[in-house]
């Protein structure tokens, strides 16, 4: 180190700040005069700091993922607790169901209950229907060779879909409950009151001809009725919904706008012959199909 | 009376030569504020979504420079202020040298007024700092206008000066705590 006196050193110390101020002004002017140089200096610094920055953003992402994972674990714990309580509840209901089934069995035994025959059914794939006289009908790839007959009942996964109206050897046409030609006797499950479900080509068929003292209740289940002998009683159809006051409709359980598979049940209603009774007019299905001139014209083409 | 055998009582100026570790230690003590500012610059320029980081960084740097310049100028020499200002300009997008110039002005004012400032109450020091910070932000805004050659929006400059004023008390509390810790270590 150069030996300088204390006075000189103090004077030099006082000069540092003004010199640096002048230098910074020089830097400002220089950077304004030569912008590419300043930009290059910036890029050098940024390049040198890039690893540090990437390290920091990586750490930040790690922290974010970890907090997210912790939050997810908390959610899972809550969900687990909820499922545990629900499981306990369901276990209770299972016990109730088992005891009710046993009671039902013992009551049936005591009453000498005649068991219903198990219905035969076939399952077929639905293919889109083009043509035909109905607006809401589907074609099923299962026909008379599989045992499908006219008048059989088609069920979707969770509710009634329609009835078989025409059969071929390998296909059957099913009239859906939403078609305008569909009129079914139904029963309102809460009041056991009869009504008629009338299709109108809309997704929700209307309810008509119900008794005025037992009006359908919003949300009530609608099941089939065995009046006229077309359906067995108690097949689930849908729930009552009021689109406007005094206009109840049925929201079907089956998703009728995109059916993929249908089960066709033969409940064997045709075999049930009522015993002869004086004055009884037998209710037989019309064997002769309706001859439409339009259909024969279409058939030629 | 027996003379004290320890060397320091004979000649207070003559002390045993510092070991390498002691020299490193004291050097780090002097570099601490500069390292803090450099770290703040790197953290705030990183692509991390911190709210208002563009205005918060100059506020923190100005407050730190002011505090150390008048309480402990040995920790904040003029050269370090110049280098840090230049570094901030290089990392940020301000015209090169503007931050260095402004920080040197703040440092100079604090350095030359420190004997007056030390006697004042904290609130008065804060008031002086508020004036100085507002002036610095206005100067920065004026220089930016001058170099772009049209009037810029004044709101960010005002926001920056408010952040400066607001960030000073917590930072000064932090640095006072650091002082006390360093002094305790030196006494021990």
Kindly report the CA angle at A67 between A66 and A68, in degrees rounded to 5?
Answer: 90
Higher pLDDT, A163 or A82: A82
What's the gap between Cα B2 and its chain centre? 48
Chain B contact for A46, CB < 8 A? yes
> What is the mean predicted confidence (pLDDT) over A119-139?
81
The two tokens of residue A42 are 């910036």
Tell me how close the Cα of A39 comes to any Cα of chain B, in angstroms.
9
* Tokens coding A127: 């293919």
Tokens of A103: 């009671």
Average pLDDT, chain A: 84
CB-based contacts of A127, cutoff 8 Å, min separation 6 = A138, A139, A140, A141
Query: Which band of pLDDT confidence, cut at 50, 70 and 90, is reported for residue A281?
Result: low
Tell me: pLDDT of A232 over 80. Answer: yes
Q: Which pLDDT does position A284 carry in this prediction?
A: 59
What is the reported pLDDT for B48? 73
B104–A17 CB contact, under 8 Å: yes
Residue B95 in tokens? 């015209």
Least CB-CB distance to A24: which of B77, B104, B111? B104
Q: Does the CB of A16 have a partner CB in chain B at under 8 Å?
A: yes
- Contact status, residue A139 vs residue A152, Cβ threshold 8 Å: no
Q: What is the pLDDT of residue B10?
A: 55
Interface confidence, given as ipTM, is 0.75
What pLDDT, in 10s, does the model give residues A48-69?
888 888 888 888 889 999 999 9
Q: How many CB pairs under 8 A join A and B?
A: 71
pLDDT at A299: 47
**Closest residue on chain A to B87 (Cα):** A45
The contacts found for A210-213 with CB under 8 angstroms, 24 or more apart, are A210/A248
Torsion of CA B175, B179, B181, B184, to 10 degrees: -170
User: Of B88, B106, B97, which is closest to residue B146 (Cα–Cα)?
Assistant: B97
**Which among A23, A28, A31, A40 is the top mutation candidate for probing chain B, defined by the most B β-carbons within 10 Å of its own β-carbon?**
A28
Residue B15 has a CB neighbour count (10 Å cut-off) of 9
Interchain pair B101, A24: CB under 8 A: yes
Q: Token pair of A37, please?
A: 């140089």
Nearest to B111 by CA among A20, A6, A25, A23: A20
First and final C-alpha spacing in chain A: 115
A9: closest CA of chain B, how far (Å)? 15
User: What pLDDT sits at residue B135?
Assistant: 93
Residues of B whose CB is below 8 A from A60: 48
Spell out a b/e string for A237-269, using b for 16 or more CB atoms within 10 Å of the CB, else e. bbbbbeeeeeebbbebbbebeebeebbbbbbeb
- Residue A17 sits at the chain B interface (C-beta within 8 Å): yes
Q: Which residue numbers in chain B have pLDDT < 50?
A: 1
Residue A48: closest C-alpha in chain B: B91
Is residue B187 exposed (0-12), middle (13-18) or buried (19+ Cβ within 10 Å)? Answer: exposed
Domain boundaries, chain A: 6-113, 120-268
Quick check: A250 pLDDT over 60? yes
Rounded alpha-carbon distances, angstroms, from residue A35 to A11, B85, B89, B95, B143: 36, 18, 13, 10, 16
User: What is the pLDDT at residue A55?
Assistant: 87
pLDDT at A301 over 50: no
How confident is the model at residue A283, as a pLDDT? 60
- The whole-angstrom distance between A73's CA and the closest CA on chain B is 25
Query: Beta A153-155 vs A160-167: how paired, if at all?
Result: antiparallel
Closest residue by Cα to residue B188 from A25, B162, B180: B180
Inter-chain residue contact A17 with B107, CB threshold 8 Å: yes
User: What is the per-residue pLDDT for A1?
Assistant: 54
pLDDT class of A223 with cuts at 50, 70, 90: very high
CA distance A56 to chain B (A): 7
Contact A53 B46 (CB under 8 A): yes
Q: Does B42 touch chain A (CB under 8 A)?
A: yes
CATH level 2 (architecture), domain A120-268: Beta Barrel (2.40)
Q: Of how many residues is chain A composed?
A: 301
Q: Does B79 touch chain A (CB under 8 A)?
A: yes
pLDDT of A85 strictly over 90 = yes
- Please give the C-alpha separations between residue A261 and each of A120, A164, B134, B176, in angstroms, as whole numbers: 16, 14, 77, 79
Given a contact cutoff of 8 angstroms between Cβ atoms, the answer to whether B62 and B133 are in contact is yes
Q: Which residues contact A215 (CB under 8 A, 6 or more apart)?
A: A248
Q: Check if B105 contacts A (Cβ < 8 Å).
A: yes
Closest by Cβ to A41, choosing from B78, B90, B147: B90
pLDDT at A198 over 90: yes
Confidence band (pLDDT; 50, 70, 90) for A146? Answer: confident
Percentage above 90 pLDDT, chain A: 31
* pLDDT the model gives residue B12: 56
Handedness of CA A161, A163, A165, A170 (dihedral sign): positive
The per-residue pLDDT for range B94-148, each reduced to its tens digit, is 788 888 899 999 999 888 888 888 888 889 999 999 999 999 999 988 988 888 8
The pLDDT of residue A159 is above 50: yes
């Amino acid at each position: 180190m150069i030996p300088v006196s204390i006075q000189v050193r103090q004077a030099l110390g006082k000069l540092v700040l003004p010199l640096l101020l002048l230098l910074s002004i020089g830097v400002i002017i220089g950077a304004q005069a030569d912008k590419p140089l300043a930009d290059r200096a910036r890029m050098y610094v940024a390049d040198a700091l890039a690893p540090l920055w990437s390290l920091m953003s990586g750490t930040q992402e790690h922290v974010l993922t970890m907090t997210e994972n912790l939050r997810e674990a908390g959610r899972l714990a809550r969900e687990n607790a909820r499922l545990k309580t629900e499981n306990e509840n369901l276990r209770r209901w299972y016990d109730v169901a088992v005891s009710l089934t046993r009671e039902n069995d013992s009551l049936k035994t005591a009453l000498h209950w005649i068991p219903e025959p198990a219905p035969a059914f076939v399952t077929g794939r639905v293919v889109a229907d083009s043509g035909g006289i109905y607006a809401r009908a589907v074609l099923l790839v299962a026909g008379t060779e599989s045992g499908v007959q006219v008048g059989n009942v088609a069920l979707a996964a969770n509710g009634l879909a329609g009835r078989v109206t025409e059969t071929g050897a390998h296909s059957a046409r099913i009239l859906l409950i939403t078609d305008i030609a569909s009129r079914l006797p139904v029963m309102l499950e809460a009041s056991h009151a009869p009504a008629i479900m009338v299709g109108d080509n809309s997704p929700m068929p209307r309810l008509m001809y119900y008794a005025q003292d037992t009006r359908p209740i919003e949300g009530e289940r609608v099941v089939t009725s065995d009046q006229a002998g077309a359906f067995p009683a108690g097949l689930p159809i849908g729930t009552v919904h009021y689109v406007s006051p005094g206009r109840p409709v049925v929201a079907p359980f089956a998703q009728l706008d995109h059916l993929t598979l249908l089960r066709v049940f033969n409940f064997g209603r045709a075999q049930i012959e009522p015993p002869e009774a004086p004055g009884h007019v037998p209710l037989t299905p019309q064997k002769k199909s309706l001859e439409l001139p339009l259909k024969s014209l279409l058939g030629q083409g | 009376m027996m003379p004290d055998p320890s060397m320091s009582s004979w000649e207070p100026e003559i002390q045993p030569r510092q070991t390498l570790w002691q020299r490193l230690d004291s050097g780090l003590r002097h570099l601490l504020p500069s390292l803090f500012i450099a770290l703040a610059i790197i953290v705030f320029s990183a692509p991390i979504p911190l709210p208002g980081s563009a205005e918060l960084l100059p506020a923190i740097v100005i407050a730190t420079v002011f505090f150390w310049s008048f309480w402990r100028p040995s920790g904040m020499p003029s050269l370090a202020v110049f280098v840090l200002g230049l570094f901030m300009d290089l990392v940020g997008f301000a015209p090169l040298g503007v931050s260095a110039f402004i920080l040197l002005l703040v440092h100079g004012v604090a350095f030359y007024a420190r004997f007056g400032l030390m006697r004042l109450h904290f609130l008065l020091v804060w008031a002086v700092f508020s004036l100085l910070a507002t002036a610095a932000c206005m100067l920065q805004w004026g220089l930016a206008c001058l170099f772009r050659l049209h009037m810029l929006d004044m709101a960010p400059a005002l926001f920056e000066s408010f952040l400066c004023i607001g960030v000073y008390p917590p930072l000064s509390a932090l640095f006072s705590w650091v002082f006390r810790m360093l002094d305790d270590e030196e006494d021990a």
